[in-house]
């Protein structure tokens, strides 16, 4: 990242917009340890398959599965929704299909953030066609105020206000995914 974009560790300037740290790397780490323990407990004697929704959830997936003390598998699916904008386009397309056979498997969908719930709702319908034994959802972030679809997030990292965030996998026009904390657009 250009050094002039980073005012200090707590603030990022993106053109005229300022992002401030909302959830630190330490807070994220601590919460993921808790989620990992919960998943380990819930899936004892099972072989779950984590399905990571690209691109945003790659970092969460990577840290989460290290905290899961079970054999598990992973696969990736890529959906489109936001394009390069800060608001959802309202439509979802599959850009990369699953490779694994998930029939009779215990699936845990891994998302970076649930905003309107459109992507999860689309994905749950899609996965159901492959007859998984069960499907649960883990999302690092959830914006409860902007939920519009009838979905349930079983493992929630943090609930956040309806504001645009970047970092820890989340992008703004494909950049800023490599920040280790979550930053929120300041008014």
Residues that bind ligand IMP (CB under 6 A): 53, 56, 81-82, 88, 111-119, 164-165, 170
Span between the terminal Cα atoms of the chain, in Å:
23
**Residue nearer to ligand IMP on the CB measure, 40 or 121:** 121
- In whole angstroms, the minimum distance from the beta carbon of 60 to ligand IMP comes to 11
Within 24-133, strands assigned E span: 49-54, 73-80, 93-96, 106-114
Catalytic residues: 115
DSSP 146: G
- In whole angstroms, the minimum distance from the beta carbon of 151 to ligand IMP comes to 8
Is residue 55 reached through a cis peptide bond, with omega within 30 degrees of 0 on the bond before it?
Answer: yes
- In whole angstroms, the minimum distance from the beta carbon of 174 to ligand IMP comes to 11
**Residue nearer to ligand IMP on the CB measure, 114 or 179:** 114
Which residue shows structure tokens 């380990």? 40
**Residue nearer to ligand IMP on the CB measure, 62 or 81:** 81
DSSP 3-state helix, strand, coil percentages of the chain (rounded to 5)? 25, 35, 40
């Amino acid at each position: 990242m250009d050094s002039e974009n980073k005012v200090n560790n707590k603030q990022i300037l993106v053109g005229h917009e300022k992002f401030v740290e909302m959830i630190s790397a330490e807070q994220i780490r601590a919460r993921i340890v808790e989620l990992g323990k919960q998943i380990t407990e819930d899936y004892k004697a099972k072989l779950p398959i984590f399905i990571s929704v690209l691109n945003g959830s790659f970092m969460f997936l990577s840290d989460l599965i290290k905290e899961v003390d079970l054999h598990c598998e992973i696969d990736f699916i890529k959906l489109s929704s936001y394009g390069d904008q800060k608001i959802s386009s309202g439509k979802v397309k599959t850009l990369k299909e699953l490779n694994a056979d998930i029939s009779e498997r215990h699936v845990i969908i891994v998302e970076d953030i649930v905003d309107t719930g459109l992507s999860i709702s689309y994905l749950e319908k899609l996965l159901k066609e492959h007859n998984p034994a069960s499907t649960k959802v883990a999302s690092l972030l959830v914006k409860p105020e902007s939920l519009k679809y009838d979905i349930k997030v079983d493992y929630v990292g943090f609930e956040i206000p309806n504001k645009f965030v970047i970092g820890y996998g989340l992008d703004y026009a494909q950049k800023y995914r490599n920040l280790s904390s979550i930053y929120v657009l300041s008014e």
